[in-house]
Structure 1
Amino acid sequence: MIKETEIVCAPEVHDNQAAITKQASLQINIPVNRIKGIKVLKRSIDARGRKVIYRMQVRVFVDEQPQPEHYTVNYPNIKEAKPVIIVGAGPAGLFAALQCIEQGFKPIVIERGKDVKQRRRDLADINKQGVVNPESNYCFGEGGAGTYSDGKLYTRSTKRGDVNAVLKAFVAHGAPEDILVDARPHIGTNKLPQIITAMRETILNAGGEVLFDTKVIALIIEFDQIKGVKTSAGETLKANAVILATGHSARDMFEMLHSQNILIEAKPFALGVRIEHPQEIIDRAQYHCDVRGEYLPPSYYSLVEQVDERGVFSFCMCPGGIIAPCATEPNEIVVNGWSPSKRNNPYANSGTVVQINLEDIPGDNADPFKLLNFQKQVEQAAFAAGGGLLVAPAQRMVDFVEGRLSADLPKNSYLPGTKSVALKDVLPQLVHNRLRKALPVFGKKMKGYYTNEAILVGVESRTSSPVKIPRDRETLQHPQITGLFPCGEGAGYAGGIISAAIDGINCAVAAMKLLG
C-alpha cells in the first residue's frame, strides 16, 4: 500500500529519515514498523509564522519496499539521421538537441563561444583585468548565460511543458536529486559546468555534432524555406529546419536577420540596478531571528510594487551570491548575479528593475532596434560613469533615495570594483524616479531592507531580450520562413533556464513534425 501525506517538521530534522518516518506514521495513523520507506515529493520552507518550519509532501510505502528510480535515458544513434541545425548551446539549444535525438533526428549545435572549460579563462580576464571577449563571456559560450551566472531552476512556466522532465534530465546528467523536490531548485555555478559537459557528451555519443567558436553569419533561404546556414568558418551547413536559440544578448543575430529582410520587432524589457545586502540582514527579516540556524539555507525574497502605473520588482534573487560583470562588448557595464551551490557567500543580491515599454522611449515604434539601442546607451553611460575596466557605478540605498552622493561604499561582491556615483546621472529618469519611490516601500514590506548598508550597482539591463523574433503560435515557425524556429530567451519566448529548456523541447518537437 502507498499513501501520500503532508508533514510539517522543524528545520533541524528535515533530513532525518527516522524523524520523518515517525511524523508520517502519526499523520496516516499506521505503526512505524509497517513503513518500509519514505519518498519526499516536494519540500519547502514556510517562514510565515513565528517559527520557521519545513513542509513536505511525502509518499509512504506501507508493507512494501520502494523501488529505486533511474533517471538515465538510452538515446538512439542518430549519426546518419536527418539533420536539424540548432544555433546556440544554452539551455534552449541543448534541450532542443536532446529532444531531436530522442525522436531520431541529428542535431548540429553551433555555438559562437567556447566550451565550458575554455570559457573559464575569459571569465577570469573579465573579473581580474576588466577585458571582455565579445565571443566568450558570461553570456556567450557552452551552457549559455545560466552556466556561470547562477543556475537557479525556479520557474512559473508550468503550463508550457513538463518541468519535471527537464529537472530529471539534469539529474540524469549529474545534478543532485534535491532539485526534484525543492520548491526553489538550484544547482549552482560551481556544479553546472560538469552537467553541461555531460549533456554535450550525450549529444556527441549519439552521433550529433557540437561546433564551438563558430558563428552563423547568414541563413540560407530558398523560396521562403530554410535550407541551412553559412558560418564564420566559411562552411555551408544544410538542413530543412533551423532552431534559433541564441540568447538575449546576441545582438548581431538580430542585425543579421534584419539585413536579410526577416521580420523582427522591438519588445518591452526591464531595466534597473542590482541591489546587494549582507545576507544576515535578509535572514533576520525573513526568518524573524537574530541569527540564522545552521539547518536553514540563506533566505531569499521577492518584492513587487506598482509605482506611477508601472511595475517595480525584484528579479533573479541570489541568496549567498555574487554580482557578476556580464557585458558582451567593450565599453559597456552590465551586471547580473549568481550563487554557488552552497550559497555560502556573505551577501545577497537581486536585480531590482522597472518595466520599459515602447512608448517610454522617443522614436519610431516600428524600428525593431528602438529598445535595443536604448539598452546600449544606458550600458555605455554606466561604463563611462565607472571610469573603465568594468568598474561599476554604485550608490548606497538611502543615499540614492535621498539624492546624496555616497561618501564611501560598503564592501561588496563585485570583483572588478565599484565607484561612488550619483546613479540619477546613469539611469533613465523613468527608472530612477520609480526606484526612489519603491525602495522605502519595500523596506516597509521587509524589515531591514531599506538601509544604507545595501548597495545599488548599475546597471541590470539584460533581464530579457529587447527584440522579439515573431513565430506562429501553432507551428512555432517564423511567419515568413518555413523551417525557421525562433526559440528561447533571445527570441522572446522564455525567461530563465527551465522555461528556455522547455521552449527548446517544444521547438524541437515542432521541427520534427515539419520534417516528418
Structure 2
Amino acid sequence: MSKELLLQVAPEIAGNDILLKQQIAKLERISFSEIQHVSILKRSIDARQKAIKINLKVVVFFQGESIIERTIELPDYKDVSKAKEVIVVGAGPAGLFAALQLIELGLKPIVLERGKNVQDRRRDLKAINRDHIVNENSNYCYGEGGAGTYSDGKLYTRSKKRGDVDRILELFVAFGASPQILVEAHPHIGTNKLPKIIQSIREKIIELGGEVRFNTKVVDFLIKQNAIEGVVTQQGDKIVASNLILATGHSARDIYELLHKRGVYIEAKPFALGVRAEHPQELIDKIQYSCDFRGEFLPPAPYSIVKQVNGRGMYSFCMCPGGIIAPCATTPGEVVTNGWSPSKRDQATANSGIVVELKLEDFAPFAKFGPLAGMEFQKSIEQQAWRLAGETQKVPAQRMIDFTQSKISESIPKTS
C-alpha cells in the first residue's frame, strides 16, 4: 500500500530519482527493489543552515500496486451563451478567473478589456522599451492577462486571507502551466510561458458562450436609484447588465476617479512605495546559500526582507530571481518600474521592490483630492521620476550604497 512521507534531504538527493529512492529505502528499512515509484507532492528549500536541505512531501508506491498520479481536469463547465449576463471590467487574472467562476455558476461573463490581446500587446511593449512611447491602454499593466502576463507570474502571497489557492493553481495547470506549480512552495510560471496560457483561458471563455472584448474601455457607469444597470464604453456603446465586477487593478486610476465622480463611496487606504533594487544573481546565491557556487540542484535564490523602521514597515516586494527590470508606466509623462523573470529564471541579475509603508497623513499636501489624495501623491512621484529620467522611460538610478547615504552616484554598473 502506498505511503506518504515527510523528508528532509540534500539538494542532490532531491534532484535525483535513484538517490531519493535509496534514501527512502534506508529510512524505511526496506530494499531498494521494493520501491516502484516516488511522486513528490510538495517541495521547499530550508536554507537557514549552511548545509542546505530540501523539504519534501512524497508518496511512495511499492511493487505490485497501481501508481496513482494526480490528474488535473477542468470543471464540468456548461454552455452559458443564453444565460444571465454579468459584466466583468478587466481581463487581468482577477477578471479572467471571475469569468471562469461565473461560467461555473451558470452565468454569462462579458469581459471588457481596455487593452489588446496578448499577441498585439507586444508591439506596445516594444514601443515603451525602444521608443519610450507609453500607450495609455496597452502596456505592461493593461491588456489581456494584466500586469502578470508580461511581468513574471508569481503565484504566492504573504496574505493569510488566501482563499482556495490550490484550485487556482490547478486551473492554471489545466490551461497549460507546468504541474510543478502544484509542488513548489513558491510557484512561478514565467513571463515566457504565460501568454499562451492566458490565451487558452480566453478561448475557453468564448467557447463556453462568454464574451471577451478588447480595446473596450469603460468610461461611465449606468446607475439608476443607486443600482447598477450597465456601463458606457469609450466608443459610446451602452452595455446593460444588473451585475458588475470591477477587476481593473490598482493602476486604473480613471476607474477610481469615475467612482468618486459618480458618488460611489470609496475610502482611502495606506499603501507602500519605494524603489527597485537590482543585484548580480550570483551575489544573492552566495549570501542565501552560503556557498561560492549554487550548483545544478538549487534554483536561483530569492530573498525576503521585513523590518520596522521608525514605526513604519519596510519590506521587499515582488522579488525576481534571475530576472530583469521593466518600465511599467501606464500614463505618458510618468516612470514606474516592475520586475519579471522567465520560467528558468536564468538571467544574470536579480531584482526586488524595496518599499516603505505610507500613512494617510503622508498625503496631506493632496488633501483637496479627498479619498484620491494617495493616488495624486503617487502620480507626483512618478512624474518627478520621469523628469529626472530626461523625460524618457529610462529610470533614475544610483548605486545602493550611495542611495543609503543620500549621495549621487558618479557611475552606474551595467543593468538589465
TM-score when normalising by structure 1: 0.78
2:139 — aligned with what? 137
Deviations 1:175-232 (A, max 9, x none): 0000001011000000000000000011011010000000111111222222211111
1:198 — aligned with what? 200
**Deviation at residue 30 of structure 1 after TM alignment:** 4.1
Q: Distance in 2 between matches of 1:101 and 1:22?
A: 47
**Deviation at residue 236 of structure 1 after TM alignment:** 1.5
Q: Distance in 2 between matches of 1:403 and 1:258?
A: 38
Deviations 1:60-97 (A, max 9, x none): 23352222433221321111111111000011101000
Q: Distance in 1 between matches of 2:242 and 2:23?
A: 57
Deviations 1:432-469 (A, max 9, x none): xxxxxxxxxxxxxxxxxxxxxxxxxxxxxxxxxxxxxx
Q: Distance in 2 between matches of 1:71 and 1:158?
A: 25
Deviations 1:214-263 (A, max 9, x none): 01111112222222111112221121210000011001111111121111
2:52 — aligned with what? 52
Deviations 1:284-305 (A, max 9, x none): 0011111211221110100122
**Deviation at residue 272 of structure 1 after TM alignment:** 0.9
Q: Distance in 2 between matches of 1:82 and 1:271?
A: 41
**Deviation at residue 165 of structure 1 after TM alignment:** 0.4
1:292 — aligned with what? 294
Deviation >6 Å, runs of 4+: none
1:2 — aligned with what? 2
Q: Residue 396 of structure 2: SS of its match in structure 1? A: strand
Q: Distance in 1 between matches of 2:409 and 2:370?
A: 39
1:187 — aligned with what? 189
Q: Residue 364 of structure 2: SS of its match in structure 1? A: coil
Q: Distance in 2 between matches of 1:43 and 1:3?
A: 17
Aligned residue among 383, 399, 404 for 1:380: 383
1:461 — aligned with what? none
Q: Distance in 2 between matches of 1:31 and 1:236?
A: 71
Contact 1:113–1:140 (CA<8 Å) still a contact in 2?
yes
1:227 is matched by which residue type in structure 2?
Answer: E
Aligned residues: 413
Q: Distance in 1 between matches of 2:369 and 2:119?
A: 41
Contact 1:5–1:27 (CA<8 Å) still a contact in 2?
no
Correspondence 1:416-431 to 2 at 5 A: none
Deviations 1:468-489 (A, max 9, x none): xxxxxxxxxxxxxxxxxxxxxx
Contact 1:90–1:143 (CA<8 Å) still a contact in 2?
yes
Q: Distance in 2 between matches of 1:158 and 1:310?
A: 20
Correspondence 1:205-244 to 2 at 5 A: 205-244=207-246
2:411 is matched by which residue type in structure 1?
Answer: D
1:358 — aligned with what? 360
In percent, how many aligned pairs have the same letter? 55
**Deviation at residue 366 of structure 1 after TM alignment:** 8.1
**Deviation at residue 163 of structure 1 after TM alignment:** 0.6
2:266 — aligned with what? 264
Q: Residue 361 of structure 1: SS of its match in structure 2? A: helix
TM-score when normalising by structure 2: 0.96
2:65 — aligned with what? 64
1:17 — aligned with what? 17
**Deviation at residue 25 of structure 1 after TM alignment:** 2.8
**Deviation at residue 376 of structure 1 after TM alignment:** 0.4
Aligned residue among 389, 394, 397 for 1:391: 394
Q: Distance in 2 between matches of 1:223 and 1:31?
A: 75
Deviations 1:314-335 (A, max 9, x none): 1110000100100000111101
1:368 is matched by which residue type in structure 2?
Answer: P
2:359 is matched by which residue type in structure 1?
Answer: N
Runs of 5+ unmatched residues, structure 2 = none
Alignment RMSD (CA, Å): 1.5
Correspondence 1:276-287 to 2 at 5 A: 276-287=278-289
Correspondence 1:405-444 to 2 at 5 A: 405-413=408-416
1:191 is matched by which residue type in structure 2?
Answer: K
Deviations 1:91-136 (A, max 9, x none): 1101000111111111110000000000011000011111100000
Deviations 1:130-173 (A, max 9, x none): 11000000110000111111111122345441110000000000
Contact 2:15–2:297 (CA<8 Å) still a contact in 1?
no
Higher relative contact order (CA 8 A, sep 6+): 1
Aligned residue among 398, 401, 404 for 1:401: 404
Q: Residue 394 of structure 1: SS of its match in structure 2? A: coil
Runs of 5+ unmatched residues, structure 1 = 414-516
Contact 2:369–2:376 (CA<8 Å) still a contact in 1?
no
**Deviation at residue 2 of structure 1 after TM alignment:** 2.8
Aligned residue among 151, 163, 166 for 1:164: 166
Q: Residue 344 of structure 1: SS of its match in structure 2? A: coil
Deviations 1:381-419 (A, max 9, x none): 111111122121111111222232211101001xxxxxx
Q: Distance in 2 between matches of 1:258 and 1:311?
A: 29
**Deviation at residue 273 of structure 1 after TM alignment:** 0.5
